[in-house]
């Protein structure tokens, strides 16, 4: 049974996990660790964690916990996986909330999920805000969100894993199990491509019109909902996307390449019946989605 | 003074013009004409027009009106401009609500705005819905919307033109005067490119995942707000965009080409510091916009 939990990285997602655990009735202890004291203090003051521990004390803190939740960017999750594997045992569960799963699942197969080692359940709550930080954490962040898991087919589910999944369900999240490679491919399509696209469009507009006050005023006056929506994700900070681009490069590049070709197809057919076919396909996609 | 108005094409925009005129206190007569009796009947039943006239009777109806508002797709506006020019005189005003302005402004210079000919004021209310039709028309459609005008510098403003601009202001719209070529270039960036992009992305997703029930279910389960926003315009019907693509081909092609190159740049720099610069530019664009 899960009595003591350590959250590593108590920003938006990690902090929200702590708050969601409490809101769902978890009565055990929630410890927190992470690189910045300020974030940990905010998380504790908001009730997301009960106590905080410097990262230098994290090994012994983790050793005394039943479950360890690795939050933060993917590369830091990989670092923590390396660091904690030797100090944990097979009665413990490690899970994570990283946005890409292939590298994490591969490292889990190597360092966890083996005799004498802790269990590792790769997870990915598809929730967030345009900005991060413990101050924005909330218990309801995962309500109606999709929380994906990419367990190894070889790893036998443990009782702690089942309990963690039950807590996630109590957070109000829907869940789905996926192969890690399929996860990263699908997330490239539904999340990473939209982000890169919105960033590229906003950057292009900034470079084309940002340098001249009259042009800026014209774009501001004329641009409506369409432009606003298509560039909204352009406000996302690089810090939230660097590790995703680094850990899912090939799938993202493939979706970008496919879209480049598709835009060229539209461009070459602005005056042909092929444009009608393009609208028909797009209409069909939206009809499925809306209806 | 404007006492009798003819609206040609009483769909979403034309119908909303009639309703907005009434709501703004216009007490004269509003006549309507258009290709389909059903649309005209809906517009009359909703109070957007007082009477409707078959297109075969449109010449004499137009001859008896002070102002004629050409609604509907750009190519049909161009047709009506050709047809009505010979039957109208210089005491009359023709204006339009077409989405592109270069071809309309060129034809206006040729057939209108000359001694003995009616005045023509090209206009473009940037308002709409994802679907068209008189049933969706509403008096408040133009409230807070931008209503662009692209008058010829050579054409002297008439009293009727000033009155029409005053009605548009009473509709609650903001207005701005622009050169027609600049209008079409800017609208390619803020409206046509977002549409083509959203259509291309939705069509690409439909072709990549639509054929297989399991893939469709995965995309539906995982795709969240980002995907929803970036593909929302994919629901727009081809019928609303055909004439825009035909009458603004070169500016749209240029923006598409620029975006293709920008996406390639992002793709080639997913692992380099150039990606950080791209996010910085995008952040700056959104910061200007949001505040």
What pLDDT is stored for residue A227 in this prediction? 95
Question: What tokens does A15 get?
Answer: 């902090």
Residue with tokens 């590790």: A243
Mean pLDDT, residues A167-174 taken together:
98
Chain A positions touching B206 (Cβ under 8 A) are 281-282, 284-285, 288
Closest by Cβ to B226, choosing from A191, A266, A270: A191
Tokens 């977002």 appear where?
B194
CB–CB of B259 and A263 under 8 A?
yes
How much is the pLDDT for B289?
85
Per-residue pLDDT, A218: 93
Tokens matching residue A272: 């042909």
pLDDT band for position A139 (cuts 50, 70, 90): very high
The distance of B17 to chain A (nearest Cα, Å) reads 20
Mind giving me the DSSP string for A129-168? -SS-SGGG--TTTTTT-EEEE---TTSPPPHHHHHHHHHH
Q: What residues of chain B, 183 to 212, have a C-beta less than 8 Å from chain A? A: 186-187, 189-191, 193-210
Largest CA distance in chain A: 67
pLDDT tens profile A16-46: 999 999 999 999 999 999 999 999 999 999 9
What residues in B contact A237, CB-CB < 8 Å? Answer: 279, 283
Q: Does A75 touch chain B (CB under 8 A)?
A: no
Residue B251, pLDDT > 90, answer yes
Q: Is B274 part of the contact surface with chain A (CB cutoff 8 Å)?
A: no
Instruction: Give me the phi and psi of A53, to 5 degrees please.
Output: -135, 140
β-pair type (B146-149, B123-126): antiparallel
Q: In the prediction, which pLDDT does B132 show?
A: 83
Q: What is the model's pLDDT at position B266?
A: 98
* pLDDT reported for residue A131: 78
B263, B271, B277, B284, best to mutate vs chain A, most A CBs in 10 Å: B263
Give the closest-approach CA distance of A87 to chain B in angstroms. Answer: 32
Measured between alpha carbons, how far is A283 from B64 in angstroms, rounded to an integer?
42
Q: Residues B32, B3: contact at Cβ < 8 Å? A: no
| A278/B246 touch (CB, cutoff 8 Å), yes or no | no
pLDDT above 90: residue B155: no
Separation CA A117–CA B255 (nearest Å): 55
| Burial of B48 from C-beta contacts in 10 A (0-12 / 13-18 / 19+) | buried
Cβ atoms of A46 and A23 within 8 Å: the answer is no
pTM of this structure: 0.94
Cα angle: A70, vertex A238, A18; to 5 degrees = 30
Q: How many CB atoms lie within 10 A of CB A216?
A: 17
Average pLDDT, chain B: 96
pLDDT at B8 over 90: yes
Give, rounded to a whole angstrom, the gap between the first and last alpha carbons of chain B.
42
- Report whether pLDDT(A155) > 80: no
What's the pLDDT tens digit per position in B95-142? 999 999 999 999 999 999 999 999 999 999 999 877 788 999 999 999
Q: Give CA–CA dist A108/B218, Å, rounded.
A: 24
Residue B112: CB partners within 8 Å, gap ≥ 6?
A: B81, B85, B94, B118, B119, B120
What three-state secondary structure class fits B212? coil
- What is the value of ipTM here, to two decimals? 0.94
pLDDT at B201 over 80: yes
Q: What is the dihedral sign for C-alpha B57, B60, B64, B66? A: positive
Residue B91 burial (C-beta neighbours within 10 Å; 0-12, 13-18, 19+): exposed
What per-residue confidence (pLDDT) applies to A237? Answer: 93
Q: Classify B287 as helix, strand or coil.
A: helix
Q: Report the pLDDT value the prediction gives residue A174, as an integer from 0 to 100.
A: 96
CA distance B184 to B175: 16
* Phi and psi, residue A199, nearest 5°: -65, -45
3-state SS assignment for residue B107? helix
Q: What's the rounded Cα separation, in Å, for the pair A175 and A168?
A: 8
Q: How far apart are the first and last CA of chain A?
A: 42
Does A129 score more than 90 pLDDT?
Answer: no
Tokens of A233: 């994700």
> Mean pLDDT across chain A, nearest whole number?
96
Q: How many CB atoms lie within 10 A of CB A211?
A: 9
Distance CA A139, CA A22 (A): 8
- CA pair distance B120, B286, nearest whole angstrom: 37
The answer for B 78-137 residues in CB contact with A (under 8 A) is 126
Measure CB to CB from residue A246 to each of B267, B271, B287 and give the nearest one.
Answer: B271
* Residue B197 pLDDT level (bands cut at 50, 70, 90): very high
- Segment B262-286 mean pLDDT: 98
Instruction: Give the model's pLDDT for residue B242.
Output: 97
The answer to whether the Cβ–Cβ distance between B289 and A245 falls below 8 Å is no
Q: Quick one: pLDDT band at residue B79, thresholds 50, 70, 90?
A: very high
- Report, as an integer, the average pLDDT of B9-28: 97
Residue from A213, A226, A287 whose CB has the most chain B CBs within 10 Å, to mutate: A226
The string of pLDDT tens digits covering residues A104-124 is 999 999 999 999 999 999 999
B213 touches chain A (CB under 8 A): no
Give the nearest partner residue to B194 out of A186, A227, A235, using CB atoms.
A227
pLDDT at B69: 98
Tell me how far apart the alpha carbons of residues B80 and B100 are, in angstroms, rounded to a whole number.
Answer: 15
What confidence score (pLDDT) does residue B156 get? 78
CA distance A222 to A277: 29
Contacts of B193 in chain A (CB under 8 A): 201
Taking the C-alpha atoms of residue B112 and residue B135, their distance in angstroms, rounded to an integer, is 33
Q: What are phi and psi of B233, to 5 degrees?
A: -65, -15
Burial grade of A81 (CB within 10 A; 0-12, 13-18, 19 or more): buried
pLDDT surpasses 90 at B265: yes
Q: Which pLDDT tens digit goes with each residue over A241-254?
A: 999 999 999 999 99
Residue B179 has pLDDT above 80, yes or no: yes
Contact B206, A284 (CB under 8 A): yes
State mean pLDDT over B233-247. Answer: 95
- Please state the rounded mean pLDDT for residues B155-163: 89
Q: How far apart are CA B191 and CA B76, in angstroms?
A: 21
């Amino acid at each position: 049974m899960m009595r003591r939990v350590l959250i590593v990285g108590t920003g938006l997602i990690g902090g929200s996990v702590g708050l969601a655990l409490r809101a769902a009735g978890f009565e055990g202890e929630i410890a927190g660790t992470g690189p910045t004291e300020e974030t940990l203090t905010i998380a504790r003051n908001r009730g997301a964690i009960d106590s905080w521990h410097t990262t230098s004390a994290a090994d012994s803190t983790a050793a005394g916990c039943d479950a360890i939740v690795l939050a933060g960017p993917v590369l830091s999750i990989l670092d923590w996986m390396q660091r904690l594997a030797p100090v944990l045992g097979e009665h413990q569960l490690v899970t994570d909330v990283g946005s890409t799963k292939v590298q994490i699942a591969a490292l889990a197969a190597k360092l966890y999920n083996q005799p004498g080692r802790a269990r590792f359940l790769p997870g990915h709550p598809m929730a967030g805000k345009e900005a991060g930080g413990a101050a924005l954490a909330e218990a309801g962040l995962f309500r109606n969100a999709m929380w994906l898991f990419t367990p190894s087919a070889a790893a036998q589910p443990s009782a702690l894993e089942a309990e963690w999944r039950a807590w996630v369900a109590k957070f109000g999240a829907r869940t789905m199990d996926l192969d890690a490679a399929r996860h990263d491919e699908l997330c490239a399509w539904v999340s990473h491509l939209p982000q890169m696209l919105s960033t590229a469009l906003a950057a292009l507009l900034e470079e084309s019109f940002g340098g001249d006050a009259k042009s800026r005023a014209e774009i501001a006056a004329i641009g409506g909902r369409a432009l606003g929506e298509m560039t909204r994700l352009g406000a996302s900070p690089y810090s939230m996307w660097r590790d995703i681009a680094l850990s899912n490069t090939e799938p993202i590049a493939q979706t970008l390449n496919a879209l480049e070709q598709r835009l060229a197809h539209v461009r070459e057919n602005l005056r042909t019946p092929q444009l009608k076919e393009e609208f028909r396909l797009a209409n069909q996609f939206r009809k499925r989605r809306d209806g």
